[in-house]
């Protein structure tokens, strides 16, 4: 069953998602050459405490970080540690918070200084693909239409989507039904209905789609060592235009 949120529940989700967005924006401003990924993680934890929310990731299936922070060829689920961020890196920040029992989940990819033009193009395509996918999150659409649109957009630019990790429903739990893959078949899957809330998150590799998990049992990297980009919004399906619950002006223009 795919949960349908009522008006009161949606209001609570708006607040959780707003908190996640604000913390992500403030955390992104801290990313600079010389800072460690662990310091960024701890700063995000302090911002969560200040906002009166908790990490949705810390302890989830024994995940040890407050946020996911993944650099360059790291796709998702990176753990903050001693690694120093370098000029020219791209840093993926994935933040989930719990506020009043409801989860907000969002991610962006931050450029550290000037990055390679090919990498900048990867980020732009991934961000544009997320924007496109969101337009499919409307009442009466098939989920497969949304998923197929992601894959087609990515492949048309010569990139590949990660198939092992997917978007998902979100609400009282971090991961709810339905799964939202970054690939699919048009006309397939359940019909979307107003009140459904989806975390849509293209994970796009510059090179091959294959990935592997490092010895920490969490960090996912590309097998060819080429960079990967990740953007995510929590989106409410409505009778009209989709509502981006984690909307943030700076991240949409970055």
Specify the number of domains making up the chain: 1
What is the DSSP pairing of strand 90-99 with strand 233-236?
Answer: unpaired
User: Is 1 part of a structural domain of the chain?
Assistant: no
Does pTM surpass 0.85? yes
Q: What is the pLDDT of residues 56-71, one digit of tens each?
A: 999 999 999 999 999 9
- In terms of phi and psi (left: phi > 0; alpha: psi -120 to 50; beta: otherwise), the region of 50 is alpha
The CATH number of whichever domain residue 100 belongs to comes to 3.90.230.10
User: Is 201 part of a structural domain of the chain?
Assistant: yes
Cis peptide before 178 (omega within 30 of 0): yes
| DSSP H or E stretch at residue 36 | none
Q: What is the pLDDT of residues 157-176, one digit of tens each?
A: 999 999 999 999 999 999 99
List of the chain residues with pLDDT < 70: 249-254
Q: Where are the alpha helices (DSSP H) in the chain?
A: 7-28, 37-51, 117-134, 143-156, 249-253
User: Is 107 part of a structural domain of the chain?
Assistant: yes
Separation between Cα atoms, residue 197 and residue 137, nearest integer Å? 9
Query: What's residue 158's pLDDT?
Result: 98
């Amino acid at each position: 069953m795919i949960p349908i949120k009522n008006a009161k529940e949606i209001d609570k989700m708006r607040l959780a998602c707003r908190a996640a967005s604000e913390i992500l924006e403030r955390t992104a401003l801290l990313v600079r050459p010389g800072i460690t990924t662990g310091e960024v993680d701890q700063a995000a934890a302090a911002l969560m405490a200040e906002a009166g929310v908790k990490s949705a990731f810390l302890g989830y299936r024994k995940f040890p970080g407050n946020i996911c922070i993944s650099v360059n060829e790291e796709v998702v689920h990176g753990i903050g540690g001693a690694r120093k961020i370098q000029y020219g890196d791209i840093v993926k920040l994935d933040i989930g918070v719990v506020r009043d029992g409801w989860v907000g989940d969002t991610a962006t990819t931050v450029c550290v200084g000037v990055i390679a033009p090919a990498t900048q193009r990867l980020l732009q395509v991934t961000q544009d693909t997320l924007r496109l996918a969101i337009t499919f999150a409307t009442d009466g659409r098939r989920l497969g239409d949304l998923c197929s649109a992601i894959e087609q957009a990515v492949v048309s630019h010569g990139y590949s989507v990660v198939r092992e990790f997917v978007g998902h429903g979100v609400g009282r739990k971090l991961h709810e039904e339905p799964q939202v893959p970054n690939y699919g078949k048009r006309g397939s899957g359940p019909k979307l209905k107003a009140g459904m809330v989806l975390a849509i998150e293209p994970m796009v590799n510059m090179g091959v789609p294959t990935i592997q998990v490092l010895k920490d049992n969490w960090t996912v990297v590309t097998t060819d060592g080429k960079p990967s980009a990740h953007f995510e919004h929590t989106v409410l399906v409505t009778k009209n235009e989709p509502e981006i619950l984690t909307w943030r002006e700076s991240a949409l223009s970055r």
